[in-house]
Structure 1
Amino acid sequence: MKRMGTQMTEMLKGTLEGIVLSILAERPAYGYEITAELRDRGFTDIAEGTIYALLVRIERKSLVSVEKVASEKGPPRKVFTLNAAGQLELNEFWSTWNQLVERINHLPNQNNTSKGN
């Protein structure tokens, strides 16, 4: 699969929290599961460390509940579950996203308007 360009990477930085909250809205998960889910959905260039740092941030912001669950391999895993505050944050993310998309869609499409310039 083609690697993400710099522009895509920069745009993703601003939306990754909302994307992860969306995954957690579907079901509780631990860090590696979230990373694997992102990769399955086409976000292949996201480093595991990026996800773990983001999980620490959303835990500090009290957007998730965390439960330590025994692991067959190694130490217990932290399983993250979206809580009510996280759901509110996710709702705000989608509202903001939809407003942004609406505004962007009303910008002129440079591929069609700048022919021959």
Structure 2
Amino acid sequence: MISYQSKNEIQNQVLNLLPHQIEECRECDKLPASLEELIKHNYQAAFVCYDKKTNSIEVGVENEEENSPYPEIKVHKIPLAKAVASLRKSFKNSDADLKFYGRILAGYGSSSKVEDVVLV
């Protein structure tokens, strides 16, 4: 399925959806799948998870400076209270990024899979 979306709509929808997804995380004690995908994309993370004990999102990013055969992963903690602001700062505006966000938005709460997003 193809989805046609405007750049401004994508940006506004993603930024407006963040507070709701963070609240969902608090209520369900886990990250919504679409939020996990967004964080992995924005931070180029190896993993993302919710830590109920510290009430924070853990983001594991590979250290690219290491020349080891095993990647070193640095874990960043984003407290839920600051998550919306941190994630808004990580938002990217390139066409490729907006298409990725558009696929997440089109699939959010939907059972149909979006193969491509056309920016209008």
Higher helix share: 1
Same fold, judged at TM 0.5 (above): no
The two structures have a TM-score, normalised by structure 1, of 0.28
Larger Rg: 1
More strand by share: 2
- Structure showing greater relative contact order (alpha-carbon pairs closer than 8 Å, 6 or more residues apart): 2
TM-score of the superposition, structure 2-length normalised? 0.28
